[in-house]
Chain A
Amino acid sequence: MNLTEYFKLSLDSLRINKLRSFLTLIGIIVGVGSVITVVVIAHSGQEGIIDAVTQDGKNVFYVYNSEPNGIYGSRAALKLTDIDLLKRKLNQEVLISGVNVGKVEVRIGKDLAYMDVQAVSAAYYHMTKNMDIMSGRFYSESEERSIIKGIVVNQVMAEKYFSNAENAVNKKILLNNIPFSIIGVYKEPTFLGMGGDSLTSYMSLALWNRLTDNTQGNITALQIKVINEDIDLHAFMDQTIATLAENHRVPKEQYMTQSVEQTEKIVESVFGFLKILIGSIAGISLFVGGVGVMNIMLVTVMERTREIGIRKAIGAKPLDILIQFLIEAFLLTFIGGVLGVLLGVGIAFLITRLLDWGFVMSWSIVGLSFIITTLIGLFFGIYPASKAANLNPIEALRYE
Chain B
Amino acid sequence: MIHLENIAKSYVNGDIRVEALKNIHLHIEKGEFVAIMGPSGSGKSTLMNILGCLDVPSSGVFTIHQQRINDFSEVELAELRNQTIGFVFQTFHLLARLSVLKNVELPMLYRGVSPKERRKRAMELLGKVGLSDRLQHNPSQLSGGQKQRVAIARALANDPDIILADEPTGNLDTMTSMEIMDILSDLNKQGVTIILVTHEEEIATFASRVITVRDGNIIEDTKDALTSEGLS
Is B216 interfacial (CB-CB < 8 Å)? no
Q: Are B107 and A314 in contact (CB under 8 A)?
A: yes
Q: Given known contacts A12-B97, A320-B110, is B75 in contact with A313 (CB within 8 Å)?
A: no
Query: Which of the residues B52, B83, B98, B111 comes within 8 Å of A313, measured between beta carbons?
Result: B52
Which chain A residues border B94 with CB–CB below 8 Å?
A: 310
Contact A313 B110 (CB under 8 A): no
Q: Report Cα–Cα, A320/B89, bound state, in Å.
A: 22
Contacts of B55 in A (CB 8 A): 394
A235 beta carbon closer than 8 Å to chain B: no
Q: Is the CB of B49 within 8 A of A315?
A: no
Taken together as a complex, chains A and B put the C-alpha atoms of A5 and B49 apart, in Å, by: 29
B82 pairs with A315, CB closer than 8 A: yes
Residues of A with C-beta under 8 A to B98: 12
Q: Which A residues from 302 to 338 make CB contacts under 8 A with B?
A: 306-307, 309-320
The 0/1 profile, CB within 8 Å of A marked 1, for residues 77-115 of chain B is 011011100010100011101100000001101111001
Of B75, B93, B107, B112, the residue contacting A397 (CB under 8 A) is B93
The smallest C-beta distance from B21 to any residue of chain A, in angstroms, reads 14
Extra contacts, 20 of them, besides A2-B112, A307-B97 (Cβ < 8 A), are A1-B112, A5-B109, A5-B115, A307-B95, A311-B106, A312-B78, A313-B52, A313-B54, A314-B87, A314-B154, A315-B79, A315-B107, A317-B78, A317-B110, A319-B75, A394-B49, A394-B54, A394-B55, A397-B54, A397-B89
Q: For the complex, what is the distance from the CA of A394 to the CA of B95, rounded to whole Å?
A: 16
Give Cα distance in the complex from A17 to B115, angstroms.
24
24 A–B pairs (Cβ distance < 8 Å), ordered by A: A1-B109, A1-B112, A5-B109, A5-B115, A12-B97, A13-B97, A307-B95, A310-B94, A312-B81, A313-B81, A314-B107, A314-B110, A314-B154, A315-B78, A315-B79, A315-B81, A315-B82, A315-B83, A316-B78, A316-B110, A317-B79, A318-B75, A394-B55, A397-B89
Closest to B76 in A: A317
Report B52-77 residues with CB < 8 Å from chain A CB: 52, 54-55, 74-75
On A, residues with C-beta under 8 Å from B are 1-2, 5, 12-13, 16, 306-307, 309-320, 393-394, 397
Q: Which residues of A are found within 8 Å of B112, using beta-carbon distances?
A: 1-2
A-B contacts at CB below 8 angstroms, number? 63
A309 / chain B contacts, CB cutoff of 8 Å = 93
A1:B93 contact, CB within 8 angstroms:
no
- Tell me if A's interface is mostly helix, strand, loop or mixed: helix
Q: Bound state CA distance, A270 and B115, in angstroms?
A: 56
> Among the listed B74, B78, B93, B109, which residue makes an inter-chain contact with A310, where contact means beta carbons less than 8 Å apart?
B93
Give the CA-CA distance A5 to B83 in the complex, in Å.
Answer: 19
What chain A residues lie within 8 Å of B49 (beta carbons)? 394
- Are A306 and B93 touching (Cβ within 8 A)? yes
Contact code string B155-180 (vs A, CB < 8 Å = 1, else 0): 00010000000000000000000000
B102 to chain A, nearest CB (A): 9
Cα(A317)–Cα(B53), bound, Å: 13
Smallest CB–CB gap between A15 and chain B, Å? 9
**A318 engages B74 (CB within 8 Å):** yes
Which of A16, A309, A318, A397 has the largest count of B CB atoms less than 10 A from its CB?
A397
Q: B101 to chain A: closest CB distance in Å?
A: 13
Which residues of A sit under 8 angstroms from B111, Cβ to Cβ?
Answer: 315
- Contact among B83, B97, B154 with A16 in the assembled complex (CB-CB below 8 Å): B97
Shortest distance between the CB of B113 and any CB in chain A (Å) = 9
CB distance from B154 to the nearest CB of A (A): 7
Q: Given contacts A313-B52, A318-B74, is CB(A1)–CB(B110) below 8 Å?
A: yes
Q: List the B side residues contacting A318 at CB < 8 Å.
A: 74-75, 78
Question: Which single residue of chain A is at the shortest CB-CB distance from B79?
Answer: A315
Give the chain A neighbours of B107 by CB distance below 8 A.
Answer: 314-315
Distance in Å from the Cβ of A312 to the closest Cβ of chain B? 7
Q: How far is the CA of A313 from the CA of B109 in the complex (A)?
A: 13
Residue pair A310, B95 in contact (C-beta under 8 Å): yes
B residues 107-146 in Cβ contact with A at 8 Å: 107, 109-112, 115
Which 9 residue pairs across A and B have the least CB separation, nearest first? A315-B82, A315-B110, A317-B78, A314-B107, A310-B93, A393-B54, A315-B81, A317-B75, A316-B110
A319 to B106, CA, bound (A): 16
Residues of A within 8 Å of B75, CB to CB, are 317-319
In the bound complex, residues from chain B placing their C-beta under 8 Å from that of A13 are 97
Give the chain B neighbours of A397 by CB distance below 8 A: 54, 89, 93
How many angstroms between the C-alpha atoms of A2 and B112 in the bound complex? 8
Contact B74 A317 (CB under 8 A): yes
The docked-state distance in angstroms from the alpha carbon of A276 to that of B42 is 66
Residues in A whose Cβ lies below 8 Å from that of B95: 307, 310-311
Q: Which residue of chain B is the closest to A16 with respect to CB atoms?
A: B97
The residue on B at minimum CB distance from A396 is B54
Please give, as numbers and ranges, the residues of chain B lying within 8 Å of A319 by CB-CB distance: 75
Find chain B residues with CB under 8 A from A312 CB. 78, 81
- Is B82 touching A314 in the complex (CB atoms < 8 A)? yes
Bound state CA distance, A93 and B82, in angstroms?
84
Give the shortest distance, in Å, between A307 (CB) and chain B (any CB). Answer: 6
Closest to A313 in B: B87
Which residues of chain B are near A311, meaning CB under 8 Å? 95, 106, 110
User: For residue A316, which residues in chain B have a CB less than 8 angstroms away from its CB?
Assistant: 78, 82, 110
A203 to chain B, nearest CB (A): 79
Minimal beta-carbon separation of B77 from chain A (angstroms): 9
A16 to B107, CA, bound (A): 21
Among A13, A314, A318, the one with the most B-chain Cβ atoms within 10 Å of its Cβ is: A314
